[in-house]
Amino acid sequence: MLPDLQAFLAYRHPQVIRSYIRDFPAYESRAEVLFADMLRFLWLSRKHMEDRERKPDDMALDFLFVMHEEMRDIDNMWHNFILYTKDYTDFCLENFGEYLHHKPDVAETIVQTESEFSTEMQKFLSYVYDELGEQTMRRWFAIHFS
C-alpha cells in the first residue's frame, strides 16, 4: 500500500541535500525541489507497479516506468540518497515495505523503433501528468518545454 503522497513529500533528509549541493553546486537553488521530485519519482514508480498489477489489461499502463535522460538531475539526487544506505533502506522499508533498487540505464538497453519509443514516452508523460500534474511533468522534461 502506497503512503499518502502529500505526507510522503513532507519527508526531508538535509544531509542528502547538502551532499547533492556539494557535488552539484550549480543546482543549489533547485536542490530542495530536486529532492521532492526524486520522492515523486520513487512514489510514482511504485504506484505504476501497483496499478499494472491491479489492471494488467490496461494498455495505458503498458510502458516501462524508468528514469529518462531528461531527468538526470533527479537521478543524481537518488544516487546521493542511496549513499546514506541505512537511511535509504529504512525509508524504503517504512514507505514501500521493501528496498527499492536502482537500475541504471534501463531505458538505454531497450531496443525500440522510433515509433515504439514515441508511444512509450507518450504513455509515460500522460501517466506523470495525470498522477502528478503538469508542473511536475514540465519540470522533469523542461528541455522540451523551453
Contact at 8 Å (CB) between 70 and 131? no
Average pLDDT, the chain: 92
Within the chain, residue ranges assigned H as helices are: 5-9, 14-23, 31-54, 72-83, 85-96, 106-109, 114-132, 134-140
pLDDT for 31 equals 98
Mean pLDDT of all residues in 75-83: 96
Residues comprising the chain, all counted: 146
Tracing cell 544516487 back to the chain, one arrives at 79
pLDDT digits (tens, 9 = 90+) for 11-50: 999 999 999 999 999 999 999 999 999 999 999 999 999 9
- Whole-prediction pTM value? 0.92
Mean pLDDT of all residues in 64-88: 94
User: Residue 11, CB half-sphere, CA atoms under 13 Å: how many?
Assistant: 23
Whether the pLDDT of residue 123 is over 60: the answer is yes
pLDDT for 57 equals 97
Boundaries of every domain in the chain: 5-144
